[in-house]
């Protein structure tokens, strides 16, 4: 593997492989097909880029998003790798230039799936006999997966069309059924499936029920000034509202959603990629293909659609391996909305699968044990308590709630299982609303038996009963609560129920941030911000995202080590020869001009 190691160092400027990279590179260079399932940020790109550089024939990379293609191509070119890309975002003339690059020996050609599968392109490629086809975001080929794309389906013709080429799929999200389906489609099962741990230990996981999203969000953002992050919202309208609110609070927040024009979205995305400390407030229209490595937090103000979606969305934080934080706020009404979405899509089997995915997410939200254990268990990975989630850092207080639940379940049953949480809670809290009086619900034996708990606490309690399967929410009946079999057993005294107290107000024990090797001394902070400004200028001039010039981790190391010669500079992780030549002197100058470090 000397050659691969050499390329890692000489071309990409990295000193060591990350877990899993070397194994995949070895398999690919020895001509094996494979599907690699690796978490976001694990460093998938290098796994195929290094074999591509080593090969003497072309490697085709299929990627679903033009923005992602452009960034990858820019990053490779900055490292001095010959690469071409052809897609609909380029003019005819530009695409002709790109094809010339292929003809004159580019190592990689990036294509969108629909471009690749045109007869014209296939014929042209047949003449070139590509060494390898790489399918990025490979889960898009499977209907079992979380985001099937019809234009990926055609890719299953590849093994028949190019029997002499290696085929490799990469994805960050695929459960077992999906993995097998992808392997069958991409290479008829003739290849390896390599699953690399889903754990992202640098992500702190926090989940809370939504009470006052504004103060919860501001509390979360408090210690994050100067950092880039994403706030996810469900609707376009809410996205705009949140962005406006954050700007009023003095944050550099910009909205992003499908209601904006393509140009506006591009401008906003470019700002997020190149400026420092932007809060992107976005619907899930934003994210796929965002490979900014230094996103420091992800905050969900609404419930994601599934465990997979949640995992993928939080996974956009901390790709550089440095610590990052996530917060998910969930509520009963979000859950109802999600159920409604599912009710309107696909066939029966699809709906059942999606409901199951959502159930898993709800159970995760209500889990009393380590979040990471719950999350990883969903992806069939066993693990122990992580010490970096809300439940590990301040374990919830568990209280017996059997009697309290029985009062609630009885109220639901007595009123014909027709009403939503709001009305039922009014009954147990003894509130004489018009709705209560009209239906004479004040005469129920359970009326007012749960006065001591405020409405918000009742809502949390109900949600925990739903998540634990004692109650279900009937979407067809406008969110009416119904007793499940378990719920009837609980009411009959044949089961018990424990709940987590006050998860809303549970004090976050402020723990000292893990002292990472990346910590920056105060003296280096001002130099670091100067280096970032310099980087921004260089990136703008080249029309590439800032991290393509240097990732944050490289700048941090630079600010700490303060190299004084090109030779010193070359020892910093992330600076290959091409970048050393292009940017080294400029950065050396900036470091030399900076105020000297006080010892």
Query: Are the C-beta atoms of residues 466 and 472 closer than 8 Å to each other?
Result: yes
38 binds ligand ADP (CB under 6 A): yes
Window of 11-19, 199-207, 360-368, 590-598 that interacts with ligand ADP by CB under 6 A: 11-19
Going across the sheet that includes 166-171, the strands are 83-86, 108-111, 59-62, 132-135, 166-171, 34-37, 192-195
* Residue 545: burial class (beta carbons within 10 Å; 0-12, 13-18, 19+): buried
Q: Which does 386 bind (CB under 5 to 8 A by kind): ligand ADP, Zn ion, none?
A: Zn ion
Among 217, 314, 370, 462, binds Zn ion (CB under 5 A): 370
DSSP 8-state code for residue 418: -
Least CB distance from residue 401 to Zn ion, whole Å? 24
Q: Which does 389 bind (CB under 5 to 8 A by kind): ligand ADP, Zn ion, none?
A: Zn ion
9 binds ligand ADP (CB under 6 A): no
Which token pair is 518? 């990346």
45 binds ligand ADP (CB under 6 A): yes
What is the four-CA torsion angle of 440, 444, 448, 454, rounded to 10 degrees?
Answer: -80
For ligand ADP, the closer CB: 21 or 227? 21
Among 392, 421, 569, 588, binds Zn ion (CB under 5 A): 392
Window of 36-44, 78-86, 250-258, 432-440 that interacts with ligand ADP by CB under 6 A: 36-44
75 binds Zn ion (CB under 5 A): no
- Rounded Cα–Cα distance for residues 22 and 31 (Å): 14
Name residues contacting ligand ADP, limited to 418-447 (CB under 6 A).
Answer: none
Name residues contacting ligand ADP, limited to 542-561 (CB under 6 A).
Answer: 551
For ligand ADP, the closer CB: 14 or 256? 14
- How many of the other CB atoms lie within 10 Å of CB of 118? 12
Among 42, 141, 242, 462, binds ligand ADP (CB under 6 A): 42
DSSP 8-state code for residue 501: T
3-state secondary structure of 87: coil
Which token pair is 299? 């905050």
| Strands 498-500 vs 398-400: parallel, antiparallel or unpaired | antiparallel
Location of structure tokens 């010892």: 599
Name residues contacting ligand ADP, limited to 244-263 (CB under 6 A).
Answer: none
43 binds ligand ADP (CB under 6 A): yes
68 binds Zn ion (CB under 5 A): no
- Residue 499's nearest CA partner among 371, 379, 402, 592 is 402
For ligand ADP, the closer CB: 479 or 551? 551
Half-sphere CA count of 188, side-chain side, radius 13 A: 8
Least CB distance from residue 332 to Zn ion, whole Å? 25
Which token pair is 148? 């099937």
Site size for Zn ion, by CB under 5 A? 5
Q: Which does 220 bind (CB under 5 to 8 A by kind): Zn ion, ligand ADP, none?
A: none
Residues that bind ligand ADP (CB under 6 A): 14, 17-18, 21, 38, 40-46, 291, 293, 319, 551
């Amino acid at each position: 593997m000397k050659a691969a190691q050499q390329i890692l160092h000489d071309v990409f400027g990295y000193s060591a492989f990350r877990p899993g990279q070397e194994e995949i590179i070895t398999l690919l260079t020895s001509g094996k097909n494979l599907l690699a399932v690796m978490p976001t940020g694990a460093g998938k790109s290098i796994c195929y880029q290094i074999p591509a550089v080593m090969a003497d024939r072309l490697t085709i990379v299929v990627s679903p998003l033009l923005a992602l293609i452009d960034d990858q191509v820019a990053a490779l070119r900055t490292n001095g790798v010959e690469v071409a890309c052809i897609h609909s975002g380029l003019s005819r003339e530009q695409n002709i230039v790109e094809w010339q690059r292929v003809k004159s020996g580019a190592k990689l050609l990036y294509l969108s799936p629909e471009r690749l599968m045109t007869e014209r392109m296939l014929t042209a490629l047949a003449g070139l006999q590509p060494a390898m086809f790489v399918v990025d975001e490979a889960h898009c080929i499977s209907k079992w997966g979380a985001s099937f794309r019809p234009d990926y389906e055609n890719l299953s013709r590849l093994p028949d069309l190019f029997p002499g080429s290696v085929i490799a799929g990469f994805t960050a999200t695929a459960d077992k059924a999906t993995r097998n389906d992808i392997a069958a489609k991409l290479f008829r099962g003739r290849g390896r499936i390599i699953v690399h741990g889903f754990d992202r230990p640098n992500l702190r996981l926090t989940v809370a029920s939504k009470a006052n999203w504004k103060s919860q969000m501001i509390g979360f953002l408090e210690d994050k000034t100067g950092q880039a992050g994403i706030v996810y919202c469900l609707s376009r309208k809410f996205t705009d509202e949140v962005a406006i609110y954050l700007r009023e609070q003095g944050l550099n927040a910009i909205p992003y959603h499908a209601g904006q024009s393509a140009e506006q979205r591009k401008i906003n995305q470019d700002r997020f990629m190149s400026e420092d400390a932007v809060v992107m407030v976005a619907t899930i229209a934003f994210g796929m293909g965002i490979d900014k490595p230094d996103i420091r937090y992800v905050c969900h103000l609404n419930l994601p659609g599934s465990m997979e979606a949640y995992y993928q969305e939080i996974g956009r934080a901390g790709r550089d391996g440095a610590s990052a934080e996530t917060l998910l706020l969930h509520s009963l009404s979000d859950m109802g909305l999600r159920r409604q979405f599912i009710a309107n899509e696909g066939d029966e089997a699809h709906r059942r699968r999606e409901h199951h995915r959502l159930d898993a997410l709800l159970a995760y939200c209500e889990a009393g044990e380590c979040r990471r254990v719950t999350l990883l268990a969903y992806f069939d990975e066993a693990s122990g308590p992580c010490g970096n989630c809300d439940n590990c850092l301040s374990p919830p207080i568990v209280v017996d709630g059997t009697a309290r639940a029985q009062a609630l379940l009885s109220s639901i049953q007595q009123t014909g299982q027709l009403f939503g949480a709001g009305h039922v809670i009014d009954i147990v809290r003894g509130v004489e609303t018009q709705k209560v009086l009209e239906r004479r619900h004040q005469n129920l034996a359970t009326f007012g038996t749960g006065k001591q708990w405020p409405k918000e606490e009742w809502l949390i309690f109900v949600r925990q009963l739903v998540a634990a399967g004692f109650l279900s929410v009937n979407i067809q009946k406008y969110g009416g609560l119904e007793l499940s079999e378990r719920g009837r057993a609980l009411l009959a005294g044949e089961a018990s129920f424990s709940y987590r107290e006050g998860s809303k107000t549970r004090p976050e024990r402020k723990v000292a941030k893990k002292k990472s090797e990346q910590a920056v001394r105060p003296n280096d902070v001002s130099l670091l911000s100067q280096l970032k400004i310099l980087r921004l200028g260089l990136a703008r001039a080249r029309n590439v995202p800032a991290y393509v010039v240097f990732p944050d981790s490289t700048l941090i190391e630079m600010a700490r080590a303060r190299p004084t010669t090109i030779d010193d500079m070359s020892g910093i992780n992330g600076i290959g020869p091409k970048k050393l030549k292009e940017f080294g002197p400029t950065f050396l100058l900036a470091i030399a001009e900076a105020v000297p470090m006080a010892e």
